[in-house]
Structure 1
Amino acid sequence: MPSIDKLEELFEILKNLSSTLDLDTLLKRIGDAAERLTNSEASSIMLIDEDKQHLYFKTAGGEKGYAVKKIKIKLGEGIAGNVALTKQSEIINDVSKDPRFTGKVDQQSGFQTRSILAVPIIINTTDGGDEVIGVIEAVNKKDPTGFTEEDKKLLESLAGVAAVSILNAKFSEDQRNFFTNVTELIVSAIETIRPKYRERYWKMTQMATLVAKMLGIQPRSEEYRNIYFGTLLHDIGYLSSKLKFEMDNADVFERTKVEQSHVIIGAEIVSKISLLKNIAPIIKHHHENFDGSGYPDGLKDEEIPLGARIVSVVEYVEELKIKNMQTEQIIQFLTQYSGSKFDPKITEIVKEILITMGQ
Structure 2
Amino acid sequence: MRKTLLLLTALALGPTPVLAQSALGANYNEHFEDVDYRDLEKAQARWIRLFVPMPQLDKGAADHGAVRSVLAAGEHGYKTILSLKWPFPRSDFPKAGTPAFQKELARLDALLPLVMDRIDILVIGNEPYIESREEDRDLDLNTFYEAMAARIIQYRASRCGGDCRTRLYMGALNRLDLKKNLTPSVARWMDYVKATPEIDGVDIHPHIPSIQASQPFLDYILPRMRPEQKFLVTEFSLVWWWKKQMREPVSPAFATKYGVSPQSRNWQVMQSALEQPFTKQQWDDYLSLSPWFETRKHYLVNQMKMFRDTGRLAVATYGFKQGSSMAADFGPDKTPWLINSVFAPRSIRPNADGSAAANYAWIDDFRALQKD
Q: Which has the higher contact order (CA 8 A, sep 6+)?
A: 2
- If the length of structure 2 is used for normalisation, what is the TM-score? 0.28
TM-score, normalization: structure 1?
0.28
